[in-house]
Amino acid sequence: MQIDNTSAIVTGAASGLGNATAAALAAQGARVFGLDLDVTRAPEIDNVVYVKTDVTSEAEVRHAVALAAEQGPLRTVVNCAGIGPSARVLGKRGVHDLGLYAKVIQVNLVGTFTVLALAAEAIARTGPLEHGQRGVIVNTASVAAYEGQIGQVAYASSKGGVVGLTLPAARDLAQYGIRVNTIAPGIVETPMLATVGEEFRAGLAAGVPFPQRLAQPAEFARLVGFLAEHDYLNGETIRMDGALRMAPR
């Protein structure tokens, strides 16, 4: 599918996976609309316009989608926005905060679906390409969807939901020529990991079978580009983890 001279939406675009993806799509000629809660510190990138957006707000997502579609055709949507607080079902302070659990589901799963659904509505209005294709949506899950660790019950639930919606969403949107795929990354060197020590990071890397290092955001972005361009990949969740299988802790 053609990326050059089209519009793209990337959520969580101010940093990490989303920022790398926005930069990569822009380098391929897309007009990228980078959605994030806080865009004040987002790095300036040619052909990337940041839009302050809460992915759990229908009104804000509709506004952002309309902006992208106006500069259209909107062809590519990438869901990277997410949060990952840690808490056990039963911890030293008692039961898992029920409000926190609901918030993680709301941001990671409901937010992903909100962007997917509202963007699909706009993509469906665009003119078809070869074989009736109109666009592609790429979601972000995690290996935690399969091997959630201690303290990841909310995060794993939300990412498992993203994996679960991938195939039925692809089937639902097939009639409109919209493909849906998901990437499940392992341990990626994002700003979240910048707060931990080098020794801890080395320990994480040592647990990856091969290559024995942390993944880079640019590798995630490259996989997004591959999924966008490969027209026969649909309804698929791809692990990007160096054959890592997470231990309980």
Catalytic residues: 155
d(CA 81, CA 111): 8
State the amino acid at position 105 in one-letter form.
I
d(CA 149, CA 86): 10
Judge contact between 96 and 153, C-beta under 8 A.
yes
Beta-carbon count within 10 A of 74 CB: 28
Judge contact between 214 and 189, C-beta under 8 A.
yes
Phi, psi of 180 (to 5 degrees): -135, 125
Burial of 31 (0-12, 13-18, 19+ CB in 10 A): middle
**Contacting residues for 234 by C-beta, under 8 A, at least 6 apart:** 170, 174, 179, 180, 181
Helix (H) or strand (E) holding 229: helix 217-229
State the amino acid at position 112 in one-letter form.
T
